[in-house]
């Protein structure tokens, strides 16, 4: 049976969307990932673009508010930004609440290429940190 994981960020536009996409793509045989925000907004087109570069399509995703998941059970709730970590409600019933922080690529400044590079850096960091986390939790084995 797959473990269920909910990724939380403030607006569910970049980091949580990328974490959901990465998890379902690379670890979907063991995990079922979802994402939400404390304040839903929109899926950032650059998050869609940089995931597409590594073969992950999140173009059908939409930004969701945390309330859409009321009453659902998750094995893990992972906050990806400080605001969501502090606003995250208490989950009971075996849910592990974890915080794995990432910079917000939507706050990147500079020219178009510099902003794209920041989205790619955060995407790669999400993949690396989540892979390490799922290995540590013995959900996946990369040996």
How many distinct structural domains can be found in the chain?
Answer: 1
Is 141 part of a structural domain of the chain?
no
Is 54 part of a structural domain of the chain?
yes
Instruction: Look at 2 and 90; give whichever has higher pLDDT.
Output: 2
Catalytic sites, residue numbers: 9, 81, 88
Taking CA atoms, 48 is separated from 57, 60, 132, in Å, by 7, 9, 23
Chain-centre distance for alpha carbon 41 = 15
Is 112 part of a structural domain of the chain?
yes
Is 143 part of a structural domain of the chain?
no
C-alpha–C-alpha distance, residues 36 and 34, integer Å: 7
Query: Which structural domain, as residue segments, surrounds residue 75?
Result: 3-136
Is 80 part of a structural domain of the chain?
yes
**For 25-80, how does the pLDDT look when each residue is reduced to its tens digit (9 = 90+)?**
999 999 999 999 988 899 999 999 999 999 999 999 999 998 899 889 999 999 89
- Most confident stretch, 4-13, 46-55, 99-108: 46-55
**Residue 38 belongs to a domain with what CATH number?**
3.40.50.2300
């Amino acid at each position: 049976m797959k473990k269920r994981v909910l990724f939380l960020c403030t607006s569910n536009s970049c980091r949580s969307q990328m974490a959901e996409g990465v998890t379902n793509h690379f670890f979907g045989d063991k995990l079922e990932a979802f994402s939400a925000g404390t304040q839903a907004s929109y899926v950032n087109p650059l998050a869609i673009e940089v995931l597409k570069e590594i073969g992950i399509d999140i173009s059908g995703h939409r930004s969701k508010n945390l309330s859409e998941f009321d009453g659902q059970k998750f094995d893990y709730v992972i906050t990806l930004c400080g605001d969501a970590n502090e606003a995250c409600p208490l989950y009971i019933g075996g849910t592990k609440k974890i915080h794995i922080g990432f910079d917000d690529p939507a706050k990147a400044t500079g020219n178009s290429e510099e902003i794209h590079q920041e989205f790619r850096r955060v995407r790669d960091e999400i993949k690396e940190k989540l892979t390490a986390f799922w290995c540590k939790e013995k959900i996946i084995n990369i040996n």
